[in-house]
Structure 1
Amino acid sequence: MGTNGRAWLALTLAMVTLAGCADGDSPEQDSDGDGVVDALDCAPGDGTRWRFLAGHVDADLDGVGAGPSIQSCVGQRLPAGLSPQGGDCAPDTASLWREQTGLYPDLDGDGATGEGPLTMCVGDTLVGYRAEAGPPDCDDHDARVSEAAWAWTDADGDGVGSGEPVSHCAGRRPPPGHVAVNGDCAPDDLLRAHWLTYSHRDADGDGFTVPEEGRLCGLDRLPQGYSLSANGLDCDDANAARWTERTVYADADGDGFGSGEPRTQCTGRTAPPGYALDAEDCAPEDRTRWQWRAYAHRDADGDGDTVPEQGVVCSGTQLPLGHAEWPTRNDCDDRDASRMVSWSVFPDADGDGVGAGARQSVCAGRSMPQGFSAVDTDCDAVEASRWQDLAYAHRDADGDGFTQPEAGTLCAGATLPAGYATLPRGNDCDDADSRIHTTTQAWADADGDGVGAGDAVALCTDGTVPAPWSAQGTDCAAEDAARWHQVAYAHVDRDADGHTQPEVGAVCTGTSLPQPYFTQATGNDCDDTDAARFRWAVLYPDADGDGVGTSPRMIPCIGGQTPPGFSLKGDDVDDSDASIQEDPEDDLMVELILD
């Protein structure tokens, strides 16, 4: 039987008792004068109460009760602590008594709401909730932030992240190891972070470009050889000696004169090997002949006597045998048997076989008279070691063995003298100084640590990079000789207590990592801001100081010593008495088990 049933049973018993009252009691008697006869009065001796009313316990006195309905003997109204209205959803909180559906949490009151809708217990107002959903709240306990933002992992610490994003509240710092900027094209390289586009390429470094679109992973500028603007149109970007198209002719015999159909070739300052810029070679397969020359006499049968005949023949520096400008048999002195030929010759003062100066007619024998020559092409009439103009294509003015392109002719002997060549050797960047000859890329090394920084420059050197320059350009501390490269670390000891904690990053340093950075762990510091604390320990309160504690167990960060009032042991059966640590009954149980 429920509470209401018990109340009605008590009322019925009371009425039966009144019906069997002793002598003198009347059914119409009203003992307490409250206007209700005793037979119907639930409290005949109390004028303030006369009837039963149902009510619910209202513990928080908010006017709404909770729990089952209870019949109580009252007067005009239910007393405090009871309410005719039930259903209080928060019986112990006076400000909350009714349930409302379709609510959205807004605990920090910033207008942004959490997940909903919810059914919640509320009062007169909806404090902490809203009837309609607001913008999503990333932290409903902080009114200063609500909007969510993304952050990306920044493994190399260059300020640009990558990978899968994580959500955090906008306005706050991203989580450790994360940044708000995405798109790192080299997540593990501190010196590269952004894609840089280019539209022109100079692969061979000759200063002339070709159109080429692409992108590179770098920092803030394109490296050498890449640009956003054109410079000429390199016809061979794989060869620094060729960059422009010119009309050339095949020079099969290598005499510097070509022939045949013109061709368009990619060249530099001179024609490429096997070609010439001049197209007048009359004997393309014979390097000794290349030009048409006139003759006036012909010795077709080779007997040494000529006949008059005019024409032209393909020649070199001299007319070929069987051709001459003057007759070889025309006796000039019929009175002297030793002289019969009138020679048209040129003085050969140096005796090199090639004459120069004004033409002369000399009467002599069948042999060329001494001191004369039939050829007038001697380019140096005084020096016997030089008599012909030889072409050269490369010059070594400073005598260091390295040449630079330069075309011309030189009065020489059988071969070109030192300092002149037909084939290149290197590419001398300064042909006026024998100490330097090779262009080398270098970076300024201001601190003298062997590693440079800044923009690369081209230096003319002896093949090695001189001080204060370096062949490397990766110095991360250009003004500090003790630091020149980024070294990764995985652990730090900021409080210098000899114990590290994990932290991944990179620091600009020299031969080794500086304090407090390490690659290997030493312990696992639980508080790297306090040198006195470095390890986690399971401790128990030890109130009686006997060295054995008891519950509750705790795991604080401590140093080398156990702090006062705590113990590493936790099985003290009486922590208020230092003389008692073990339960005798436990010892007896152990003995029984062992027996």
Structure 2
Amino acid sequence: MGTNGRTWLALTLAMATLAGCADDDSSEQDSDRDGVVDAMDCAPGDGTRWRFLAGHVDADLDGVGAGPSLQSCVGQRLPAGLSPQGDDCAPADASRWRVLAGLYPDVDNDGATGEGPVSACVGDTLVGYREQPGAPDCDDNAPRFAASTQLWPDADFDGIGSGEPISHCAGRDLPRGYAAVDGDCAPDDRARSTWRDYTHRDADGDGFTVPEEGRVCSGMTLPAGYALEARGLDCDDTNAAGWQERTVYADVDGDGFGSGDPVMRCTGRTAPPGYALDSVDCAPEDATLWQWRSYAHRDSDGDGDTVPEQGVTCSGAALPPGHAQWPTGHDCDDRDATVMVTWHVYPDDDGDGFGAGTRQTFCAGRQIPMGYSAVNTDCDDAAPLRWRLLAYSHRDADGDSFTAPEEGAVCSGMALPPGHATTPRGNDCDDADPSIHTTVQAWTDADGDGVGAGDAVALCTDGTVPAPWSAQGTDCAAEDTARWRQVAYAHVDRDADGHTHPEAGTVCTGTSLPEPYFTQATGNDCDDTDAARYRWTVLYPDMDGDGVGTSPRTTPCIGAQTPLGFSLKGYDVDDSDASIQEDPEDDLMVELILD
């Protein structure tokens, strides 16, 4: 600040001197000693200027000005920013100042030029222009696009156009509704665009063709019904049901099987109405019968059970009633419809449907005679509710509804008796005690805080963990009820001054973090070992103790008070004298300016 003050003082005194000199009326006086008397000098107080010269403003400092001519008080030459030449065609661009004719635009510098010749404002170089024309440029602002091409209207957006073309820059995205290919034979149909030749037709769409040459408007491929190669030789291309000449037979009863002499007809997969492809009808006038079929079993009495007998009979889709290829039962008397089954039965004393004892044989109806059973698996013929052995794989001996693995078999009825199962229900760890059934993992909880520690043990319980055990084994202080979990902290206040510093870690605690650990910062303690210091502060040495210091500045760690010998201020111009803090020349300068 002292240096600036002296500068202002010198300028003020100089202005005062010039003002005093202005009072001299001598016509021969040359105040600035530039060789021109004050009366003729346009700047009598400035030895570098003494005459008026005309110049144009040269804002871009390219040596050529623009605008009206201005008279300026100068010395030997016009200063920078003024020029005797005033025809700058680009006053704000130092790279351009002259107009040159016969040029061709090439803004994108790709060698292709726009329309010309033109006159343009340029400098030493012809940036954006060329002296000779290049290939025509369809977009002189993008070097990627130069050559023009033609596009045709594409109303159906199939990629092939038709109609009056327009000019387009090659490489640009095609405008919507135009295509680069001409010749759409169906401009309003997106599915058709190209004339394609064909040599075969399938007019009825049966998949078989006849020779025919022509041209059809199509898409990428020929449409259905047109082909370049033969597919069969259709005997009737007007009827999709017929395409090949085949031998058929008259089918009088319409059952799909014919008879008589063969004839030729144009057919498809099936014969035409009134004809059949096969000639094996054994009953030409009965639509329910058409083929000879063999049988191996007969049911003469119509009771539904057969006896072995081989032969052939005129049939339809199936053998007629009373004839069968496979046995149905085994009729023990095919002359009596009321008896047909040979029963091998066992006495059923308890009437539960399961017998036991010696087997007996009867020819009877479809029902087993009363008091007998066809099954001899009754494991207890004296108990009607138990008749079969059922396997089990799990037991519930103590009746607590939890099972233990055990395989065996028990005499039962429709279902296993209580205490037996084929699927597990839990895994009873003690099937002799109904009060316990579930194995749990537990840890010793020595301090009773609900969280255990040490090695896990397996306990057979009622499903809960009993005291003094815990279902958790993460206690970080097994003998302290106030601490049981590790909690993360991010800040510490070890000197208890109310200011923390960053430090990440974990500590064994209870519901909350203990001091001096915190998750949120309070200040930014620069020394957490000293409660009297907690902040960084910029200080200046104050040797004279006047409350204002000077350089060099320091940034020590301090507390609430500024230490002796230092100050928060740093502009003392004399730190050895407590009475001086500011430069007196600055005060003099201010007084002079105010006066």
TM-score normalised by length of structure 1: 0.36
Q: TM-score, normalised by structure 2?
A: 0.36
